[in-house]
Chains A and B, each alone.
Chain A
């Protein structure tokens, strides 16, 4: 079952902050975040493991609450280059650790 992402779309001005949420109805082992530019393949951003660990990558960070089966992606002081569609992928820690992706959040950063 696909994780649910919110919001579906968000428009920002450069320098503004945004939060993208990802929730699952299943117990999770890890959450993977990707960004996809129009016409391109998804590109890896970061992985979070259960344990509530928060990770960061430049001005993009994320948290994972395995009890609530939720993850959030935080974009701080957004830049034009942050525009794209963001996907969360969830793995349940089974033998295959297959990734199931959400429906995506379209982020548009305007000058």
Chain B
């Protein structure tokens, strides 16, 4: 099992550009989520999904879009990148039960100039 994979590992964007961060998991987990990590702020939930076709907002959803067309994939889209979106982004997956371990991908380091 590859677990949770993310691409790219690093990305530099200019303000106003758009891009998609990719996330895939091969554990057949229903639940997938995106977090951003900034110094002193911990891990903040951006969006999450409990299954194909179902997504919802987390704590900091503004400026990001998601969709979930398959169980395996959960891409995160930045429509018009801003310097405030410079961060490390982690994708994670788990089963929907509250007792289940959440697995994180290796992260994408994004810089917006």
Which residues of A does B touch, CB under 8 Å? 2, 5, 29-30, 32, 40-44, 47, 49, 87, 89, 91, 93, 95-104
Is B35 within 8 A of A41, CB to CB?
no
Among the listed A32, A44, A96, A101, which residue makes an inter-chain contact with B42, where contact means beta carbons less than 8 Å apart? A101
Minimum CB distance partner of B49 in chain A: A96
B103 within 8 A of A: yes
Report B-chain residues with C-beta under 8 Å of the C-beta of A2. Answer: 42, 44, 59
Which residues of B does A touch, CB under 8 Å? 31, 33, 35, 40-45, 48, 50, 56, 58-59, 90, 92, 96-107
- Beyond A2-B59, A98-B58, whether A103 also contacts B41 by CB under 8 A is yes
Ranked nearest first, the 3 interchain pairs of A and B with the lowest CB-CB distance are: A103-B42, A101-B43, A41-B104
Nearest-Cβ distance from residue A66 to partner chain B, whole angstroms: 12
Report B-chain residues with C-beta under 8 Å of the C-beta of A49. Answer: 98-99
Q: Please, how many angstroms separate the alpha-carbon atoms of A103 and B100 in the complex?
A: 21
- Beyond A42-B104, A91-B98, whether A100 also contacts B59 by CB under 8 A is yes
Report B-chain residues with C-beta under 8 Å of the C-beta of A30. Answer: 98-99
Minimum CB distance partner of B95 in chain A: A97
Among the listed A40, A41, A44, A87, which residue makes an inter-chain contact with B101, where contact means beta carbons less than 8 Å apart? A44
9 other A-B residue contacts (CB within 8 Å) besides A29-B98, A32-B102: A2-B44, A30-B99, A44-B102, A96-B96, A100-B45, A100-B59, A101-B43, A103-B40, A103-B41
